[in-house]
A and B are shown apart, each in its own frame.
Chain A
Amino acid sequence: MSENRSADIVVIGSGVAGALVASELAQAGASVLMLEAGPRLERWRIVENYRNLANKDDNQRPYPASTLAPHPEYGPDNNYLVLKGPDASSYSSQYLRVVGGTTWHWAASAWRYLPNDFRMQSVYGVGRDWAIAYDDLEPYYYRAEVELGVSGPNDGTDLGSPRKQAYPMDHLPLSYIDQRFSDVLNVNGYKLVSEPVARNSRPYDTRPTCCGNNNCMPICPIAAMYSGIVHVAKAERAGTQLIANAVVYRLEVDAHDKIVAALYFDANGNSQRVTGQYFVLAANALESVKILLMSSTDKWKNGLANSSDQVGRNLMDHPGTGVTFLANESLWPGRGPMEMTSIVDHRDGPFRRDWAAKKLHLNNQVQTRHATIKALAMGLTGPKLDQEIRYRSAHTVNINSFHDILPDPENRMRLSDQKDALGLPRPEITYQIGDYTKRSAVHTRESYGQIAALFGGTEISFDDHFAPNNHLMGSVIMGRDPRDSVVDHECRTHDHDNLFLATSGVMASASSVNCTLTIAALSLHIADTLKHALGKSA
């Protein structure tokens, strides 16, 4: 098949955001060209890569980075991200440059943000307001839940985000450890809830019910968990032309500030050019910034869409801490999917004027390997080794957290002097976590201690280092004022009216929950805007 060199819509990036836009537009009859920097990977191969992997904690390794489109690797570190600043290691993020994107490995947590998350400055006097309100996004949240296949508590549980329809699927019945946590914590002042997840509790959208392979990260072997590859397939079936191994390095802009073409290096390193009417940059919060900054011209000296000088700034994530302990009862984490419940009593409230909201979540991951490493370090063998592994596998509890962080223009990504194999600059990131987040983490640590005590915890081990959680936000921030923001309420760049950014980079607050469902909702919003613009609205 010959490649189209022009399309109504050129989508750059094939993760959940780009794939949803492509799928929607192609189904509406638009011609869509989707460019993906990385290669195609088959699910079975990823599963085999995982089983052959020595360090099973490395979620990136089953997805070998392409030579021409590297993504961050940490075992060993390929130094793709150039990390600087006091909290550099807390932004050692993971993302995938492959067809389908980073939702190949995620916890599938599909939360809606809270209404107040969209108006942090107005309500709490910190951070920034979005250019869109929760109520504007609510219908798109629901459509995203239908598209991704979200199961959630239809039992009246109030998660703080008003909804007009039930979840498409009821939540999965809780594993024993999650039941015990629910029983114990909810009578002791905590609010532990079933987490809405893009994971099937019944056959849905031709994919099976979760059967508890306990391997959501790095790969669900049976596709019971949603991944962007689902909508890549839908987009292609509807006529989208997907070009893999197409590393976009420049957007061309005309004298009227319209984007007219995308230039990319193909698998042989040759430059190719495609044109389109509208461009949707959906290459994640960092790679999208890279493309905008690399596209600078005499007129756009600081890069495209960057008259505000905010492109690459306001980087956010959900800095995480954790605790591990041995409970005084056998809870056996690892039966069922990797995560089922969250503790949500500090997602919102007046305290947000002073310290960060957070969500704590119970890890339901099989602990056998970590138990074994500990038991071997004790010098055990024989029946005692088996007993120790069994005891620790049954009794180990691990809880982690996401903390909110405020958008700070000094937390930013620039183009590094260091280059990748194609000679393109690597992302250079400067990152510092402020007191707003640190104050909350102190409180989180107290909660960890109390929860451990409720389960008679021993060998309590706090992990106070802020871990990255790979929720890359803020880098192309949304706002009403073109002087201090990159995109408007439609995720359209203030500077180029045919350029849309479908990425968590547009998010103006981090909130305390996984950002994927919000990316999906915003992407469906973009799709509607483009359908209308092309006269293809239903």
Chain B
Amino acid sequence: MTLLSEPRVPAGSEGNPSLEKRRFLVQTGLAAGTLLGTGGWIAAISASGSAQAATGPVESSVPVAGGAPVEAEADAQFLVLSQTLTGHSPLDPILARRYLNALSFQDTTFGMQFIALLKVVALSPVMEPEALASTLDQQNPDLGKVLHRIVSAWYTGVVGEGANAQVIAYQGALMFASVDDVLMPPSYCRAAPFYWTAKPPQVTTEVTTPSVPNATPA
């Protein structure tokens, strides 16, 4: 079924000077870490060093020569990281870019946190989302929060809260993928009238016991 257009970026977000500045910070963070190659995680591992190395000052004096390729690499790395963290693959690269933009725009430290998370994930012996999350929640709660913020963005389609909340995706939000054999995102029509009388599938999975009771999504 073809869905209609994704929500548009609110006027002023694209080309917004402060947004550009925040993207710049992500890029400089990446450039300073010199970890981005085309080899994905392996390249990241080889150049990463410790996660703490990337938590230094955000202001980098490294000039952004060739900004566009660096930006594209940041987008690519965010896409790969998102796929690892959510367990959903492939994810939409355009949405990935917009999530990264919005997360960076809303939190000036996100760029550095993202780099740090990249490194930790690259070094991790496990790549299953749940194992990664529980390890991080226990060993590095700050980066765990970053992980959950990224997952929350992809699932809800929204970055930020209250008046700052920015809708990146509606029907493309991952939450709807979990139920797309039964439900449509509200405002869309699933099938011919009265389909709703039929018995839907039974879901027997037990409710999960909260593993991190205090984790707060972004």
Q: Please list the residues of chain A having a beta carbon within 8 angstroms of any beta carbon in chain B.
A: 47-48, 50-56, 76, 172-176, 179, 209-215, 219, 221-222, 326, 329-330, 332, 334-336, 365-366, 368-369, 371-373, 375-395, 458-459
Contacts and interface: CB of A to CB of B under 8 A. Distances in A.
Contacts of A378: 208, 210-213, 215
29 contacts: A51-B7, A172-B194, A175-B197, A176-B200, A211-B190, A211-B191, A211-B193, A212-B193, A212-B196, A221-B189, A366-B185, A366-B186, A368-B175, A376-B152, A378-B213, A379-B133, A380-B133, A381-B85, A382-B87, A385-B151, A385-B155, A386-B177, A387-B178, A388-B208, A391-B205, A391-B207, A392-B207, A393-B182, A394-B201
Contacts of A388: 205, 207-208
Q: Chain B, interface size: which category?
A: 35 or more
> Taking each of B137, B147, B151, B160, which has the highest tally of chain A beta carbons within 10 Å of its own beta carbon?
B151
Nearest to B181: A390
A318 to B, nearest CB: 24
Contact of B184 (A179, A214, A219): A214
Given A382-B129, A394-B203, 10 more contacts: A51-B7, A52-B7, A76-B163, A176-B196, A212-B190, A219-B187, A366-B185, A381-B85, A385-B129, A386-B177
Contact of A47 (B178, B187, B203): B187
Contacts of A395: 203
Nearest to B161: A54
A381 B187 contact: no
B193 A76 contact: no
* Closest 10 A/B residue pairs (Cβ): A382-B129, A379-B215, A379-B212, A54-B165, A336-B196, A335-B196, A376-B217, A382-B87, A372-B175, A52-B7
B156 A376 contact: yes
A283 B191 CA distance: 38
Given A373-B217, A393-B178, A173 B194 contact: yes
B143 to A, nearest CB: 13
Which secondary structure dominates chain B's binding surface? loop
Contacts of B162: 76
A372 B129 CA distance: 17
Nearest to A367: B183
Contacts of B210: 378-379
Contacts of A172: 193-194
Contacts of B192: 211
A212 B190 CA distance: 7
B205 A390 contact: yes
A385 B205 CA distance: 12
A330 B86 contact: no
A390 B203 contact: yes
B28 to A, nearest CB: 29
Given A335-B196, A369-B175, A52 B128 contact: no
Contacts of B189: 211-213, 221-222
A47 B188 CA distance: 10
B142 interface: no
Given A376-B148, A388-B208, A382 B183 contact: no
Nearest to A337: B196
A54 B152 CA distance: 13
A212 B203 contact: no
A394 B205 CA distance: 11
A383 B152 CA distance: 14
B196 A175 contact: yes
Contacts of A176: 196-200
B179 interface: yes
A54 B158 contact: yes
Nearest to B87: A382
A326 B205 CA distance: 13
B7 A368 contact: no
Contacts of A174: 197
B187 A379 contact: no
Contact of B183 (A47, A368, A373, A392): A368
Contacts of A215: 186-187
A331 to B, nearest CB: 8
A459 B210 CA distance: 13
A113 B160 CA distance: 45
B166 interface: yes
> Taking each of A52, A175, A380, A389, which has the highest tally of chain B beta carbons within 10 Å of its own beta carbon?
A380
B74 interface: no
A175 B203 CA distance: 17
Contacts of A50: 187
Contacts of B195: 212, 335
B167 interface: yes
Nearest to A222: B189
B18 interface: no
